[in-house]
Amino acid sequence: MTVPGHPQHDAAQPLAAQGGGAWALTVARWPMATRIALLALVPMLLLVGAGGLWLRAQMHQSLLGSFEQVLREKAQRVSARLQVDGQGALREASGAADEFSAIYAGWYWRAVTAEGAVLRSRSLWDMDNLPTEPPPPAHAPAGLRRATGPMQEPLLALTQPVAPGATGAPGQPGAQVSLTVYAPAAQLLASMRQIDRTLLSAGLVLMLLTGGLAWLQVRIGLAPLRRLEALLAALRAPHGAGPDVAQHLATPTGRDLQPLQNELAGLLAHNAHVVARARAHAVDLNHALKKPLALLSAQASAQPQVASAEVQHQVDAMAQLVDRYQARTLSDALHAHPGATGQAVDVRDCALQVLRMMERLHAAQELDWSLVENAAPAGTAPLRWRGERADLEEVLGNLLDNAGKWAASRVRLTLSASGDAGRQRLCVDVEDDGPGMTPEQLQSAGQRGVRFDETVQGSGLGLAIASQIAQAYGGQLQLRKSEGLEGLKGLGAQVQMEGLLLPAARGGRDAAV
């Protein structure tokens, strides 16, 4: 729909054409190598052309100036032999033979008086006048003119006024005479053409050399870009080099292209991280849904009927898990602090709920589940943590579920606070009295999918998920041998997460579930 008073722009019309810059759009479509080469060659061409023309003009002017000086000297010598008698007739004094004596030798002169009397050199013989072209040669002084000799040879002529002496009164000037001296110009013109050919050849060689150097510069300068293109193509190929290509991107390529290469390497790393995180979310969701299903299965196995309230509670929990993982995937929860705007969570209340669920899930093992809350000395309020309750439940559930699978008789959960007054951290410590881990197993524990005993049910993702959530809240997961349960060698897992509020001081209280 067209609104009156508002101009409409054709989407198909190029933007550059609308602004009158269609040529800029055309140039922008050229390959980068072509644009760089033209950027180097066009100024060089203009410089070489202008410099060649200036040098040609200077050399031509020098040759023609020297030729003019020769003609002026010849004119002075001829004017010294001219005389005007008493009747006003112009005569030439007798003298030795010179270049103006040989007939059609190429050197001529012609003198004309104000009354029209004409006197010419012997070399002209019967030629009364020589045709002279009005325009002078290029870069020649103003007095020089082109002319054609009796044998159609090229000549250069110089006309200037002279004052011959009067006969019978030596030293007295006679009437003014216009004297024109002609000289052969074939050799001079040949020298000028040779200069033109030399300058043209030198310019072409210089342009070819410049073009070759520009091509070499483009080839060498764009080599890193071609390598980046090849590496990216190999990365996109179905059977390419994979992660090794991203490692090759760290190779130095020079100060100019290094920022671009660093950005590409960062982009590839970010994309790989996003893809890996999306896959991890799908696996984590699968792992998280197994807990409510396992709990329902355990209750269904223990009794003929399962309470509808319990079924509804677990179904709601699974629905919340699906919504939570979908929101985490869309909002990129691992790159933004999830607890920045979360509500305060009662840590003890959340831990008690998870402990009751774990007690029902591992009821067949008859384990002793206990909660210890080590509060700070100041204040009496319970530990409260600013974050997503579902995140805390998942951390507790994964650590307690893992401890329940391996514990022999006892699992202990300890809640405490750490850090200074300005930056409190929540510490969740889960210990069991199971077989524990060797130092080698402690090094590799927590990696996604790593399992040390295939006979125990699990997927090897619980510790990895807990570590991932802790990192999202600026914390970490640490594994060690259990030190709190005396005489036992079980496993201790401690998670620290930022965002703790109002650390309580309720003393060390042992709450048995």
CB atoms within 10 A of CB 19: 10
Q: What is the reported pLDDT for 101? A: 87
Question: If you average pLDDT over each of 295-299, 436-440, 472-476, which comes out highest?
Answer: 472-476
Which residue type sits at 510?
Answer: D
On the question of pLDDT at 2 being above 50, the answer is no
User: 484 vs 270, 348, 418, 467, CA distance in Å?
Assistant: 41, 20, 18, 22
On the question of pLDDT at 70 being above 80, the answer is yes
Angstrom distance (rounded) from CA 326 to CA 316: 15
Q: In what order do the strands lie in the sheet with 509-512?
A: 476-481, 491-498, 423-432, 410-420, 368-374, 509-512
On the question of pLDDT at 104 being above 70, the answer is yes
Q: What is the reported pLDDT for 95? A: 67
Q: What is the reported pLDDT for 374? A: 78
**Beta partners for 369?**
411
Q: What is the reported pLDDT for 58? A: 92
- Specify the residue for token string 């996003």: 274
Q: What is the reported pLDDT for 414? A: 92
Question: If you average pLDDT over each of 65-69, 264-268, 380-384, 490-494, which comes out highest?
Answer: 65-69
Q: What is the pTM of this model?
A: 0.47
Q: What is the reported pLDDT for 196? A: 93
Q: What is the reported pLDDT for 438? A: 75
On the question of pLDDT at 74 being above 70, the answer is yes
Q: Name the pLDDT band for 4 (thresholds 50, 70, 90).
A: very low
On the question of pLDDT at 342 being above 60, the answer is no
Q: Name the pLDDT band for 253 (thresholds 50, 70, 90).
A: low
**Beta partners for 83?**
91, 165
Q: What is the reported pLDDT for 283? A: 67
Give 65 or 294, the one with higher predicted confidence. Answer: 65
Give 130 or 3, the one with higher predicted confidence. Answer: 130
Report pLDDT digits (tens) over 343-353: 788 999 999 99
Q: What is the reported pLDDT for 503? A: 47
Mean pLDDT of the region 113-131: 83
On the question of pLDDT at 72 being above 50, the answer is yes
Mean pLDDT of the region 239-258: 61
Angstrom distance (rounded) from CA 324 to CA 202: 76
Report pLDDT digits (tens) over 138-158: 666 777 888 988 888 999 999
Are the C-beta atoms of residues 228 and 74 closer than 8 Å to each other?
no
Q: What is the reported pLDDT for 66? A: 92
Q: What is the reported pLDDT for 435? A: 83
- Specify the residue for token string 């802790």: 470
User: Read out DSSP for 136-155?
Assistant: PPTT--TTEEEEE-TTS-EE
Q: Name the pLDDT band for 3 (thresholds 50, 70, 90).
A: very low
The contacts of residue 159 (CB under 8 Å, 6+ apart) are: 143, 145, 178, 179, 180, 181
Angstrom distance (rounded) from CA 450 to CA 452: 7
Report pLDDT digits (tens) over 160-208: 888 876 554 444 555 688 899 999 999 999 999 999 999 999 999 998 8
Please tell me the least confidently modeled range out of 2-11, 101-110, 273-282. Answer: 2-11
Angstrom distance (rounded) from CA 392 to CA 286: 18
Spacing of C-alpha 340 from chain mean position: 35
On the question of pLDDT at 335 being above 50, the answer is no
Report pLDDT digits (tens) over 398-417: 899 888 888 888 999 999 98
**Beta partners for 479?**
493
Give 505 or 421, the one with higher predicted confidence. Answer: 421
Using a pLDDT cut of 70, give the percent of the chain over it.
69
Which residue type sits at 421?
Answer: A
Angstrom distance (rounded) from CA 278 to CA 256: 35
Mean pLDDT estimate for the chain: 76
Angstrom distance (rounded) from CA 467 to CA 25: 52
Closest by alpha carbon to 185, among 151, 159, 146?
146
Please tell me the least confidently modeled range out of 314-328, 361-375, 472-486. Answer: 314-328
Please tell me the least confidently modeled range out of 275-284, 380-389, 420-429, 434-443. Answer: 275-284
On the question of pLDDT at 395 being above 80, the answer is yes
